[in-house]
Amino acid sequence: MQKFQSVCPFCGTGCSLTLYVENNDIVKVEPNKNAPSNKGMACVKGLSSHEFVKNKERLKKPLIKKNNKFVEFSWDEAIRYVAKNLKQIIKKHGGNSIGILNSSKCTNEENFLMYELASKVLKSPNVDQCARLCHMPSGIAYSKMFGISAMSCSYSDFEKAKAIMICGANPAVQHPIIFNHILNAKRKGVKLIVVDPRKSKTAKSADIHVEIEEGKDDAFYIAICKYLIKNNLIDKEMLRRTKDYDFFIEELKPFGDINELCEYAGVNPNLVEEIGQLIGNNKTIFINGLGLTESAGCVTNVELVGCMALLTGNIGKEGTGVAPLRGQCNVQGASDIQAYYNKKLKYDKNGFPYFEKKFNTALSSTEMVEGILTGQIKALYIMGENPAMSHPNLKLNYKAFKKAEFIVVQDIFMTETAKFADVVLPAASFAEKDGTFTNSERRVQLLEKAVSYNGIEDWKIICMIAKAMGNKKDFNYKNTKQIWDKLRKKIDIYSEITYKKIKQNYGVQFPATKKSEKVLYKSYFYHKEGKAIFPSIRIYPPSMIRNKNFPFRLITAGTLEHFQTGTMSRHCQTLTKINNEPFVNINPKDAKRLKIKDNTMVEITAPNKQKIKAKAKITNDVKENYLFMPVHFNEAKVNLLTSEKLIDISKTPEYKGIIVKIKKI
């Protein structure tokens, strides 16, 4: 029996796995006991990950749509067809008319190559990936404040803290192994604060649960910042390492007093004092998730979390830090490549590192949809993403996909998005490729190719298309190590990370430059003068307010047994046995008032007149006038209900801002 090292393809925890193979068949998956990220632990999804790899519904041959039906073609024919059509569109409309979607489920090497294809062959600036829909606000906020958008600490720091504050995240369900690290810390006396409108599994383990009103996080965090400043619970040494602190204080003044802010946020003001004293006097780690980044004040929400860390000096030391949890296995890596592909690391006159500013003219993934409808975008090349499930206002997306002149989808299954494509190219899964993922704690880890079931590695497909379009010189790679060595010359934060170092150390954490430090921000932030920057602050109220016609706020998220749009997890037999149908959580009082019984079918309707159906599950985990639904099920596509409205500079959809009505069927 052969053993191959790999990384779990689901959430951003980055659990190291060993794949056991006999006769080109994965017979067992085990967590790696020596890996620092998971220490021999894995959740049910990770242990079942081999099941979708060898699922019989995997795409096997390239498909080209003829007379509205898919027909199998050879790889040579399909690649020539793709190259021919892309060339024609570039000749007629220019490279700017092509939109490219990278994937956080693909390797760093593959994401990098897609940028190379876009810049050197397609001549298009329009490259984006799924972080736009979730973690882009963290990217913007922490890059502006600290210079790098990433977890500043490591999972091992959790037990060195005295408090952990989880803001809009449910790691017990979304990141189970990270939550195990948190529970281990809690057993050693670390206090756990959870800010969440639901009684989530994570919230039920908290010492302090702040049951905030959805979309009003910014007001609550402003109240805490005001309390810290008013009561002198600030770290003056840390403030000397910052800029614009006086400006920040002035920015806070118009927002009223703490009681007014708490009333708006639906929070008891006593909690502000309790939390303020706890984080102001103790080492604290601040974790944030999609509850912040998919709400109305998304960038501001994350900035305020960063402000709490700066004010209390809880960054740049062991047992402290900011910790954005990444939702997919390579969100961090794909985002690093997106952020730093054309941005060089420089040093100021005092030797402090900083990144030069980059002017970005690219359309976001959500803007590409609008671009198709206006005629600006003519073609889409989609690698490993499923926007026909994940994008907001799906009906608008469907209209755009039907209008596009040419769509190429590269994936492992016939997804909802692939059904709209003109060409579908069968790709390889995580177990069928070499390469690297970067996890939430900035750890770059290797995947080893273990088997060959179906499809071709994404990086090889990209090279085939580039060569067919006339560029053989820049895409003549023989293996992923060659791509990585090119990547780390371009992406400065990875410059000192080699495959050899990754193998020797169960992964290497970035930034890994000649002058980098193990503890992020210990001596400097990645700005000129080495200083962090306090942001400008404003409150963004939810764009839609509950009313008599739509009296419920719908919260959407994931479940323990499934992942994102279900492409992988719903092809795992173990996971579908646990649950394989959509549901909606409703409070018992609301259910009684509407005469809805447990496990009966209900209909949920949004202001855009879209409707979906699901089974009602009655629970006290949601407050009155709130509902919860998972995002995984194409039988009840929750994003039919979401608005296409994009939030602030992040251009992220307001997924947590849905208002709906519900009735029994």
Under the banding of pLDDT at 50, 70 and 90, the label for residue 67 is very high
pLDDT for position 289: 96
Q: Cα–Cα distance between 281 and 313 in angstroms, integer?
A: 10
Q: Cα–Cα distance between 306 and 141 in angstroms, integer?
A: 8
Phi-psi region of 132 (alpha: psi -120 to 50; beta: other; left: phi over 0): alpha
Whether residue 86 contacts residue 469, with contact meaning beta carbons closer than 8 Å, is answered with yes
For the stretch 103-130, pLDDT in tens is 999 999 999 999 999 999 999 999 998 8
* Residues in CB range of 56: below 8 A, 6 or more apart: none
Longest dimension (CA), the chain: 71
- 616 φ, ψ to 5°? -80, 135
Under the banding of pLDDT at 50, 70 and 90, the label for residue 517 is low
pLDDT for position 408: 98
Whether residue 305 contacts residue 288, with contact meaning beta carbons closer than 8 Å, is answered with yes
The beta strands (E) that lie in 152-220 are given as: 163-167, 191-195, 208-210
Whether residue 265 contacts residue 342, with contact meaning beta carbons closer than 8 Å, is answered with no
Q: Cα–Cα distance between 82 and 135 in angstroms, integer?
A: 31
- 652 φ, ψ to 5°? -95, 140
The type of residue at 428 is: A
Alpha helices (H) in 133-235, listed in sequence order: 136-146, 171-174, 176-187, 217-230
What is the side-by-side strand order in the sheet with 423-426?
69-72, 63-66, 423-426, 406-411, 379-383, 98-101, 127-128
For the stretch 149-197, pLDDT in tens is 999 999 999 999 999 999 999 999 999 999 999 999 999 999 999 999 9
Q: Is the pLDDT of residue 518 over 70?
A: no
Alpha helices (H) in 419-572, listed in sequence order: 458-468, 480-490, 499-504
Angle of helix 217-230 versus helix 269-280 axis, rounded to 10: 60
For the stretch 279-320, pLDDT in tens is 999 999 999 999 999 998 899 999 999 999 999 999 999 999
Measure CA of the first residue to CA of the last residue in the chain; give whole Å: 54
Q: Exposed, middle or buried by CB within 10 Å (0-12, 13-18, 19+), for 607?
A: middle
DSSP three-state, residue 67: coil
Q: Cα–Cα distance between 346 and 526 in angstroms, integer?
A: 10
- 474 φ, ψ to 5°? -85, -5
Q: Cα–Cα distance between 397 and 387 in angstroms, integer?
A: 8
Angle of helix 458-468 versus helix 75-93 axis, rounded to 10: 60
Alpha carbon 17 to its chain's center: 21
pLDDT for position 468: 98
pLDDT for position 358: 60
pLDDT for position 206: 98
Measured at the alpha carbon of residue 67, what is the angle toward residues 66 and 68, in degrees to the nearest 5?
Answer: 90
Angle of helix 108-117 versus helix 458-468 axis, rounded to 10: 20
Under the banding of pLDDT at 50, 70 and 90, the label for residue 646 is confident
* Residues in CB range of 142: below 8 A, 6 or more apart: 148, 149, 150, 302, 306, 322, 324
Q: Which domains does the chain have, with CATH numbers?
A: 2-53 (3.30.200.210), 63-133+356-505 (3.40.50.740), 136-325+528-533 (3.40.228.10), 552-664 (2.40.40.20)
For the stretch 75-93, pLDDT in tens is 999 999 999 999 999 999 9
For the stretch 13-43, pLDDT in tens is 999 999 999 999 999 999 999 999 999 999 9
Q: Is the pLDDT of residue 644 over 90?
A: no
Under the banding of pLDDT at 50, 70 and 90, the label for residue 609 is very high
For the stretch 496-507, pLDDT in tens is 999 999 998 889
Measured at the alpha carbon of residue 453, what is the angle toward residues 450 and 455, in degrees to the nearest 5?
Answer: 105
For the stretch 349-361, pLDDT in tens is 777 777 776 656 6
Angle of helix 217-230 versus helix 298-312 axis, rounded to 10: 20
Whether residue 331 contacts residue 131, with contact meaning beta carbons closer than 8 Å, is answered with yes
pLDDT for position 532: 97
pLDDT for position 357: 64
Whether residue 487 contacts residue 474, with contact meaning beta carbons closer than 8 Å, is answered with no
Q: Is the pLDDT of residue 345 over 80?
A: no
Q: Which residue do the tokens 């998972």 mark? A: 630
CA pseudo-torsion sign 239, 244, 250, 256? negative
Q: Cα–Cα distance between 478 and 524 in angstroms, integer?
A: 39
CA pseudo-torsion sign 50, 130, 110, 378? positive
Whether residue 205 contacts residue 285, with contact meaning beta carbons closer than 8 Å, is answered with no
User: Against a cut of 0.75, is the pTM above it?
Assistant: yes
Average pLDDT over every residue of 573-593: 97
pLDDT for position 338: 87
Looking at per-residue confidence, does 248 or 542 come out higher?
A: 248
Average pLDDT over every residue of 235-245: 96
Average pLDDT over every residue of 230-251: 96
pLDDT for position 360: 63
Nearest to 138 by CA among 149, 154, 151: 149
